[in-house]
Amino acid sequence: MVFGRSIRARMTIATVVVFGAIVFAWVVAILLTYPARARADLIDQADDASRHLTMLISRQQFTGPIPPRKGVFVMQVVDREGRVVAANEGLTGRPPLTRARPTGGYSRVQDRVCLPDGCLIVVGMSHPDSVYGPVVAYAALREPFLLRSPFLPLLLSGSAAVMVALLGWGAWYGTGLVLAPVERIRWGLERISAQDLRRRVDVPHTGDEVAQLAATVNDTLARLEDAVERNRRFVSDASHELRSPITALMVRLEAGMENPDAADWQAAFDDAQRLSDIVHDLLLMARLDEGVETEKEQLDLGVLVEEEVARRPSRLPLTMDVEPGVFVRGSRLRLCRVLTNLLSNADRYGDSRVWVSVRGQGDQAVVEVLDDGPGIPVEMRERVFERFTRLDQTRSRDAGGSGLGLPIARDIARAHGGTLEVGDGGPKTRMILRLPRD
């Protein structure tokens, strides 16, 4: 849980710090701009009402209260002696709102008046030719409580603190919900050991990225289990394959020491040769598993097949059908190993003849090796590519194979971007090698 809590705490702290900075900047911006903008809006509204009142008294006298103007309910008309000659309802009989008068040639005056029941923003416009004579038309609006009270900074600061606290709690709770499945995946992986790879992590039913992560982890564990199991079988099979020639070699050597005979020494040499071949195959397979790259060159596949056929002795007659100019890019040594294996198997298991063809097929080069032996059952066509697999019950002539030839050949084909498979040859065995053309 330490891992999950550490990430959870860091994410929460980072979220609170970032959002706290944003909220703090927002509060400062409001405190710096809101009062000025709010007062400016009040002044504009009062100015509009004062101008309208000035227009009205240019042509008429009020016989009653001044009607309100767009939410402005505080208006007075004051003559030059300071008498209120007209007012709105509620201000009748009350003194002027302010003693401020336009001076210096200006026709407009602005003031802020505080009364026991609140403060007013007052705007006055002078009118020298009204129906009342020279007067000043005043319009006023009450300041909101927040503009004249320290409560606004406290309210904004308190609201910001609450928002940051709620966000911190939400971040802590949310990251906990997100990381809980990740923590279960980590805990599930912690229980898995090399001795027991059958365990799997729980996949949450959320359908999100965490569920995909858990599914990917399980797929990886399945591949790892398969690889470890294959490695265990490989080690077991390799030990078994090496034990037989080593035991036979020791018996031959003991017999040769007691009764030196050329036949015994030859048999011992054959056993040692077979042991060397198995070790060589194991080393090559290990390099293929590691993906060790070899130097590649452009090769004429038909010429390579012809050279390999001419180089190796054969038990059965061989028929070739080679298309010229079929080029591939690869390792000459390793591709020769594939061809040697296919030709040797066909020669070993065939009854009377072997057929070899090389042709181009689109962007692929295709080599087919066909023999008329007992064939490979359909259900066994993939098993022959498993390591140390020999079909002795159907291919009884197999006397010295290690069961590594076809797996190595397929690995080499795949390393060259190609495939090797058992094709449909009826009662015959058809091995098909496909490589990318160069």
pLDDT 10s digits, 67-115: 888 878 888 888 888 888 888 877 777 888 888 888 765 688 888 888 7
Task: Supply the range of the domain harboring residue 99.
Answer: 2-151
- Residue 3 is predicted with a pLDDT of 45
Tens digit of each residue's pLDDT, the chain (438 residues): 444 456 666 767 777 777 777 777 777 776 666 677 777 888 888 888 888 888 888 888 887 888 888 878 888 888 888 888 888 877 777 888 888 888 765 688 888 888 777 788 888 888 888 888 888 888 888 877 766 666 667 777 777 777 777 777 777 777 766 667 777 777 777 777 655 677 777 777 777 777 788 888 888 888 877 777 776 666 666 666 666 666 766 666 666 666 666 666 666 666 666 666 666 666 666 666 666 667 789 999 999 999 999 888 888 999 999 999 999 998 888 898 899 889 988 988 888 999 999 999 999 999 999 998 888 888 888 888 887 666 554 444 444 556 678 888 888 898 889 999 998 876 788 999 999 998
Same domain, 256 and 219: yes
pLDDT reported for residue 2: 44
Say if residue 275 is in the same domain as residue 335: no
pLDDT in tens, 37-69: 777 888 888 888 888 888 888 888 887 888 888
Separation in Å, CA 263 to CA 144, 177, 197, 245, 327: 119, 77, 50, 17, 46
Contacts of 215 (CB under 8 A, 6+ apart): 203
Instruction: Say whether both 214 and 275 belong to one domain.
Output: yes
Structural domain contains residue 347: yes
**Has residue 166 been placed in a domain?**
no
Which tokens go with 167?
């966000």
Is there a single domain that holds both residue 16 and residue 129? yes
Q: What is the pLDDT of residue 393?
A: 45
Q: What are phi and psi of 236, to 5 degrees?
A: -65, -45
> Taking a C-beta distance cutoff of 8 angstroms, is the pair 155, 132 a contact?
no
Axis crossing angle, helix 405-415 with helix 332-349, rounded to the nearest 10: 140
The residue out of 290, 321, 341 marking a domain boundary is: 290
Domain contains 201: no
Rounded CA gap, 301 and 304, in Å? 5
Domain shared by 337 and 406, yes or no: yes
326 and 310: one domain? yes
Q: For 425, list phi and psi in degrees, rounded to 5.
A: -120, 20
pTM value?
A: 0.47
AA identity, residue 86 = A
Same domain, 283 and 304: no
Closest CA to 338 of 433, 238, 230: 433
How many domains does one find in the chain? 3
36 with 125, same domain? yes
**275 and 302 within one domain:** no
Residue 368 lies in a domain: yes
- CATH number of residue 22's parent domain: 3.30.450
Q: Are residues 248 and 318 in the same domain?
A: no
Q: What is the pLDDT of residue 252?
A: 64
Provide the pLDDT for residue 402: 61
Q: What is the CATH number of the domain that holds 325?
A: 3.30.565.10
Residue 262 lies in a domain: yes
Q: Is residue 341 situated within a structural domain?
A: yes
Whole-angstrom CA distances from 246 to 37, 233, 252, 253 are: 98, 20, 10, 10
Distances (CA, A) of 174 to 11, 23, 92, 135: 10, 20, 62, 67
Rounded to the nearest angstrom, the gap between the alpha carbon of residue 130 and the centroid of all alpha carbons in its chain is 78
284 in the same domain as 321: no
Same domain, 279 and 377: no
| Position 174, amino acid | G
Of 290, 310, 332, the position where a domain reaches its end is 290
pLDDT at position 435: 94
